Every structure is written in C-alpha cells, then in structure tokens.
C-alpha cells in the first residue's frame, strides 16, 4: 500500500536519525517546502567533536550533552545554501524543546509534524508551540 507523504517524510526522519552523534537521544528533522525536502539534519555536536562524551551525556544526566538540536542544525543549513524556510513545514522525530520552538516560530514555519514528545521538555516548556504553528502528532 502507498504511504502518505507525511508518513514518508517521518520514515525518512526516523531512519536517518541514526546519524546523530548523541549517545542518549537520536533526533532528526526534515524541512519541507512545496513538498520538496529543502533542509535536514540530526542533533549534532560541533564539527570537530566526534560525539557526545560517553560518560557525560547519559539518560540520567543530560546536562553535559554537547549537541546542537536537529531543528537548529536544519535552520543553520538553510543559511549555508541561501534557502528560505518562510512558511515551510517541519517533520521532527521529537517535539521541539523551548529554544527550538522559539526558533521555529521566528522562522515562520507554518506546520509542525512530530512523532514523540519528552516529558522533560513538556515541563520545561514555557511556550506552547501549538499556539503559533499548526501542529500534528503522528
């Protein structure tokens, strides 16, 4: 059976999240405009670092996580290519945290599709992304 475009983007996202450099959590996102993939990335450490320090970034303590979140990396990549993400849509495996939510809102992203949400981020959230961006849980 033929899957929907939304399911297709999310399946791509899940598969390629395996490129993440975080030992604790692997997140991927795809930015789509007019149904074309215009940017993508995973949660990634700074370019010269191999991955999150194994003993530091753990399930019990994420305070040493070195990654730049997937959404921020995807936004950064559009700047490298001079691509506009105005009114684009984003597919992300994990619901954006507060900082990423703000960045997406100010990037004028029109729609957010996400798969999982983190309790920790929910409690940290002092901004409701749903109030600004049409949001769908898949």
Task: Retrieve residue 111's tokens.
Answer: 């729609």
Give me the least distance between CB of 101 and Zn ion, in Å please: 8
Q: Measured from the CB atom, is 10 or 20 closer to Zn ion?
A: 20
Q: Measured from the CB atom, is 7 or 130 closer to Zn ion?
A: 130
Sequence-separated (6 or more) residues with CB below 8 Å from residue 71: 29, 90, 92, 96, 100, 103, 104
Give me the least distance between CB of 3 and Zn ion, in Å please: 27
Residues lying near Zn ion in the complex (CB under 5 A) are found at 22, 24, 52, 57, 65, 67, 69, 97, 100
Give me the least distance between CB of 125 and Zn ion, in Å please: 11
- Residue ranges with strand state E in 23-110: 28-33, 36-42, 89-94
């Amino acid at each position: 059976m033929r899957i929907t475009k939304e399911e297709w983007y999310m399946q791509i996202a899940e598969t390629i999240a395996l490129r993440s450099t975080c030992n604790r959590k692997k997140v991927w996102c795809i930015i789509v405009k007019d149904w074309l993939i215009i940017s993508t990335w995973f949660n990634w450490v700074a370019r010269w670092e191999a991955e999150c320090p194994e003993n530091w970034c753990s399930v019990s303590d994420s305070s040493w996580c070195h990654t730049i979140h997937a959404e921020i990396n995807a936004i950064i990549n559009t700047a490298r290519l001079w691509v506009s993400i105005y009114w684009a849509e984003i597919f992300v495996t994990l619901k954006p945290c507060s900082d990423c939510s703000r960045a997406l809102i100010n990037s004028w992203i029109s729609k957010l599709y996400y798969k999982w949400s983190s309790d920790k981020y929910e409690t940290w959230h002092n901004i409701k992304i749903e109030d600004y961006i049409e949001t769908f849980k898949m």
